[in-house]
Amino acid sequence: MAGSPLTSKSPSPKESSPKESSPHEQTAPLEPAGQLEVDEGNIADNDSALGENDTGSSTASIASSIYKFRIENGRSYHAYKDGIYVGPNDNSEQDRLDLQHALCLLTFDNQLYLAPIFEDGKTPVKRVLDIGTGTGCWAIDVSDDHPEATVIGVALSPIQPAFVPPNVEFQIDDVEEDWTFSEPFDYIYTRFMTVSLAN
């Protein structure tokens, strides 16, 4: 399908030297010049400064205990709905997910999707859902290519980057539960979720 007008291409994945550190490795924080005071003020999950929320009660709050990952045999695993997804969420797994995304781009000639969306000019795609977003690579690439669309990535583990394009957001939720989205989606994308869903 190379050269097909019905597909979108994203830039080729960046090559990296084996000596470069992983983007998921934690680095030591910079030391502040002076003493910092701790702000112990509570931030409510419904704070209007956080923007409007398109979710209901079954969606976990980012401010909750979902960051308290379970550690087993030296690997970390998601805390929200602990155990329903078998894979870890540590740096090695995040690197594997990023590599898997790069391999998909190479396999499909840098096409992010094969469905004839965005290009027909008749039906604008305003809302995109990425189920099982993982590290969020696909959602970020689509949001970069289509700034007119809102892209929502959903996963069980909060391993996505904090700095993303303004038209992408990540939510921690279980897609096997009742959906809490108040608006329909124009395109729903998922990949490699066979072992993750009950039916």
- The 10s digit of each residue's pLDDT in 84-98 is 666 777 888 888 888
> Residue 94 sits in which domain range?
65-190
Arithmetic mean of pLDDT, 49-75: 57
Judge whether 163 lies within some domain.
Answer: yes
CATH of residue 121: 3.40.50
Judge whether 180 lies within some domain.
Answer: yes
Domain count, the chain: 1
Identify which has the larger pLDDT, 98 or 48: 98
Identify which has the larger pLDDT, 176 or 46: 176
Judge whether 87 lies within some domain.
Answer: yes
Return the sign of the alpha-carbon dihedral for residues 111, 112, 116, 120: negative
Percent of the chain with pLDDT over 70: 53
Judge whether 118 lies within some domain.
Answer: yes
DSSP string across 144-179: HH-TTSEEEEEESS--S-S---TTEEEEE--TTSPP
Judge whether 178 lies within some domain.
Answer: yes
pTM of the predicted model, to two decimals? 0.60
Judge whether 12 lies within some domain.
Answer: no
Judge whether 137 lies within some domain.
Answer: yes
118-170 pLDDT, tens digit per residue, is 676 667 789 999 998 888 999 999 999 889 999 999 988 777 888 899 999 99
Residue 92's nearest CA partner among 73, 105, 106 is 73
